Amino acid sequence: MPLSEPYPDLASLDLLVSVGELGSISAAAAAHGMTQPAASMRLRAMERLLQIPLLERSTRGARLTPAGMATAEWATAVLGDMRTLVAGTAALRADRTSELRVAASLTVAEYLVPRWLHRLAAEVPKTKVSLEMGNTTHVSEMVARGDVDLGFIEGPRPPGHLRSRELLADELVIVVATDHPWSRRRRPISPQELAGTPLVLREPGSGTREVLAEALKSHGLSATPAMELGSTTAIKAAAISGAGPAVVSALAIYAELQAGQLVAVACEDLRLERTIRAIWAPSRPPSPAASRFLAIATRSEEPKTRRA
């Protein structure tokens, strides 16, 4: 959805955060390599743009207003997300001769790897990383061929021919549009209802599809595809538009649930959980760079979701 309101540039948001952290405009200006008048001008322009007072100015200096504190807090999250984006896209455009070659399934690549890359850049700034993406089957094949040093996949079990380490648990969530009949259900749906309803699904070979298939198979059932899409983003958009219920990772759906764009639906007696794993070839132990990246990934926290 296009932004309908004017929004400040990242440099101005970064400057505001620095004022809050350092306690004055002059200190923030010095940290950003600009003069105090230039910093003051930039902050006043942002106040006019947002139409709220961000700073209390006096002869003794300036400090953030309550609105400025809240804005700085939100800006910190925006800047963190932008640094994550920069780290992720830098890895995507790096060549295959990079010091560390990583492959990740789409869900992991979209929602976890960029954050890990940002942490790696902070801990070991000179590490050059390349990132390849694909579904779980494709990532496992790249690791087995030696195309990458380290892979990250999700699914019910590790590939038998590769070494692996469990990183975190990930729940799959059934979601529907807000006007779907299931969104108003007071009790869980049954596995039979889920299997008998056309679903918006990932393509065969993905970890998400594999977990759903095994969960339904334990009840003697199989999923009915309404459509098969190759990315979580496309699946969420289809579900929001009312194309049908979807089954997606809890990692991917938190924001849409919080915003009220989708509703999570419980299903009785259906285990929709999987494990996110790091994988590598047994003949090639992780290099120092891969080991550091693996340690960062291991420190990840499990996300929380809410149900309808």
Which tens digit of pLDDT belongs to each residue from 266-298? 999 999 998 899 999 998 888 888 888 999 998
Express each pLDDT in 75-132 by its tens digit.
888 887 787 777 777 676 665 555 889 999 988 988 889 889 888 888 888 888 889 9
| Topology of domain 168-273, CATH | D-Maltodextrin-Binding Protein; domain 2 (3.40.190)
Mention every residue, 6+ apart, whose C-beta is less than 8 A from residue 36.
Answer: 25, 26, 29
82-167+276-298: CATH architecture: 3-Layer(aba) Sandwich (3.40)
Q: How confident is the model at residue 215 (pLDDT cuts 50, 70, 90)?
A: very high
Beta bridge partners of 133: 104
Q: What string of H, E and C letters represents the secondary structure of 19-54?
A: HHHHCCHHHHHHHCCCCHHHHHHHHHHHHHHHCCCC
Query: 10 Å Cβ neighbour count for 130?
Result: 20
Average pLDDT on 56-71 reads: 84
Whether 236 and 262 have beta carbons less than 8 Å apart is answered as yes
- How confident is the model at residue 79, as a pLDDT? 83
C-alpha 111/C-alpha 52 separation (Å) is: 33
Helix (H, G, I), strand (E, B) or coil at 173: strand
| More reliable by pLDDT, 301 or 124 | 124
C-alpha 195/C-alpha 155 separation (Å) is: 20
Structure tokens at 256: 């849409």
* Placement of tokens 């809050």 in the chain: 20
**pTM for the full predicted model:** 0.66
C-alpha 43/C-alpha 53 separation (Å) is: 10
Whether 274 and 156 have beta carbons less than 8 Å apart is answered as yes
C-alpha 143/C-alpha 127 separation (Å) is: 20
Q: How confident is the model at residue 182 (pLDDT cuts 50, 70, 90)?
A: very high
Structure tokens at 175: 């979601």
Length of the chain: 308
Mention every residue, 6+ apart, whose C-beta is less than 8 A from residue 186.
Answer: none
Q: How confident is the model at residue 3 (pLDDT cuts 50, 70, 90)?
A: low
- How confident is the model at residue 294, as a pLDDT? 92
Query: 10 Å Cβ neighbour count for 164?
Result: 18
Q: How confident is the model at residue 243 (pLDDT cuts 50, 70, 90)?
A: very high
DSSP 200: E
Q: Of 183, 136, 139, whose CA–CA distance to 157 is shortest?
A: 136
Q: How far is CA 48 from CA 44, 55, 59, 70, 176, in A?
A: 6, 12, 22, 17, 40
Pick the CATH number of 10-78 from 3.40.710.10, 1.10.357.10, 3.90.1210.10, 1.10.10.10: 1.10.10.10
DSSP 293: H
Q: How confident is the model at residue 223 (pLDDT cuts 50, 70, 90)?
A: very high
Residue 191 identity (one-letter amino acid): P
- Looking at 10-14, 59-63, 197-201, which range is the least confident one? 59-63
DSSP 210: H
**In what helix (H) or strand (E) does residue 139 lie, and over which residues does it extend?**
helix 136-145
- How confident is the model at residue 88, as a pLDDT? 72
Residue-range domain boundaries for the chain = 10-78, 82-167+276-298, 168-273
- How confident is the model at residue 302, as a pLDDT? 43
C-alpha 86/C-alpha 47 separation (Å) is: 27
DSSP 206: S
Q: What φ, ψ does residue 266 adopt, rounded to 5°? A: -80, 150
Average pLDDT on 37-55 reads: 91
Q: Check for a shared fold between 10-78 and 82-167+276-298.
A: no
Helix (H, G, I), strand (E, B) or coil at 196: helix
